[in-house]
Amino acid sequence: MRGRRVVVATRFLAALRRRSYLAVSLAVTAGACAGPPAPLAPTGAWVPMRAEAFAAVTARTVPTAAQLIRVHWRYDDGNQESSGRGAVRLAPPDSLRLDVAVPVVGRATLVLAGDSSWSQPRDLAEQVPRSRALLWALFGIIRPQGALTRIETGDAPGWRLYRLTAPDGLVTRLECRGDTLLAATELRGDRIVGRLALTRDAAGAVVKADASDVEHGVRFVVEVDHREASEPFPAEIWRRP
């Protein structure tokens, strides 16, 4: 029975992946006019920022204690839509585990721990936004993926902005009010490849995250049902089975 479930899950995920590629092709062919909004621009010039100062900013976005978050989610690649419920475990400073119930597939898991990551089924990582930085940002946490060659900051009325450049040329633009992240955009040149918008409650906690992997035609929306502090999680939940 277990073997049959794995086969079904693999076929289901492969079908989703083929459909997402089709959705991208159709959008390009149609010359899609609608797209994600452009990121905010500073009123003045971008100013270089020291890595140590930016590290202090990111540290203030990380929860001070472990959290268990109950969510419901929706996946849409323009051709296939799926939804379900799940749980997120956050363990500061650098560990995140997402467990979701997926129709047909059953249970699926994605783990980010330090600089490593794994998913089960393995193809799950290709169905959610592939950017690890955007996955962290779903929960309001600023955690760049890998080293950065340049960090810059700027201001717009009521906003603090950051522009991060990776060695491969990927640029991430962050839009914050104070230390509170509200939006993120990933660009290659002038082309937007990823976009995230956060909705927060009066206390500042994320209640909804709407992420688009524009490059692969995938939209992933997470809404928070319940959030609670947790005791430290067992070490084995971060290890690949």
pLDDT tens digits along 119-177: 888 766 555 666 889 899 999 999 998 889 999 999 999 999 999 999 999 999 999 99
**Who contacts 21 (Cβ-Cβ below 8 Å, separation ≥6)?**
216, 217
Q: Could you give all domains of the chain from N- to C-terminal order, each with its CATH number? A: 2-31+40-229 (2.50.20)
- This prediction has a pTM of 0.82
CB 138, CB 196: distance < 8 Å: yes
* Selection from 111, 92, 121 nearest residue 15 by Cα: 121
Q: What distances in angstroms separate CA 216 from CA 11, 67, 178, 234, one per listed residue?
A: 19, 30, 32, 35
Pairing mode, if any, of strands 47-48 and 67-76? unpaired
d(CA 207, CA 224): 5
Q: What is the pLDDT of residues 32-87, one digit of tens each?
A: 344 567 899 999 999 999 999 999 999 999 999 999 999 999 989 888 888 999 99
Band of pLDDT at residue 28, cut at 50, 70 and 90: very low
